[in-house]
Each structure stands twice: as C-alpha cells, then as structure tokens.
Amino acid sequence: MFSIGQLSKATGVKVPTIRYYEEIGLLPPPGRNAGNQRRYGQDGMDALGFIKHARDLGFPLEDIKVMMSIEGQLGEDCSEVHRIAEAQLSAVRARIARLEQLAGELERITHLCGHGQGGECKVLAALGDHGQCEGEHS
C-alpha cells in the first residue's frame, strides 16, 4: 500500500492534483488506514500513471475519463479510443502550425530591429501596430 506522498513521488503528480483527480472521479477513492490516511494499492498507482502519461500527451481530463472507462474492458471495441487519439493528434498538429506561424512572425519582426543600435525600436513599433504584421496570429 502507498501513501499519497509515495504515490506523488513515484509518479511526479503533485498531492493536490491527486486529490483533485479523486474529487472528479478519475481516481477511485482510496482506502484509509486506522489514522484515516489515504492508502493506495497498485491499481491506484497504475491508474495515476495512465492519467499522467495521457496528460503529458495533452489529452483533456474528460477524454482520459472516457479512455479509462474503456481501458479495463477486455474485448471492448477500441474505436472510441482511436477517435479520441486521432482528435488529439489533430489538435497537436494545429497547435504546431500556429506556433510555426508565430515563430515566423517573431523572426520577421526581430530582423526589422537594429538590435538596440539607436533609433526607433522596430519590435515595439510592430507590437504596437498589428497592421505591420504579415500574417494573422490572433
């Protein structure tokens, strides 16, 4: 059996976050010892590891809850999990495209500048006037 602190240390998930996951039903309520301290079994450790990995990959908590409800059902059709993973991949690709667009615009405006060598700061001017931007990034 693991204390909440041991679970936190083993998974890298902070104690308040573990409590939050319990509160919203992602983690089942743990057992309690005689001193009323939380005690988790290996299933709690495994579930928290699953949640942490899914969060590291950017999955929203609602999607994780759906995947966890399917994960333990042998023979269950995985089409819903596949749909969720495909949607997450699409969202990540969209964020990457947006970040590449932002990087391009930032690179462009930093090259306008004389690197602090006097005169008007072109970076501040570009930031102050959205009309100087070449692309949409809002």
Q: Which residue has the higher pLDDT, 137 or 82?
A: 82
Residue that is written with structure tokens 């990959």 in the block: 57
Q: pTM here? A: 0.76
pLDDT at 79: 84
pLDDT at 128: 78
Q: What is the pLDDT of residues 85-119, one digit of tens each?
A: 999 999 999 999 999 988 988 888 888 776 666 66
Measure the CA angle with vertex 132, ends 126 and 137; round to 5°: 90
Residue type, 117: Q
Q: What is the pLDDT of residues 23-79, one digit of tens each?
A: 999 998 888 888 888 899 998 999 999 999 999 999 999 999 998 888 666 556 688
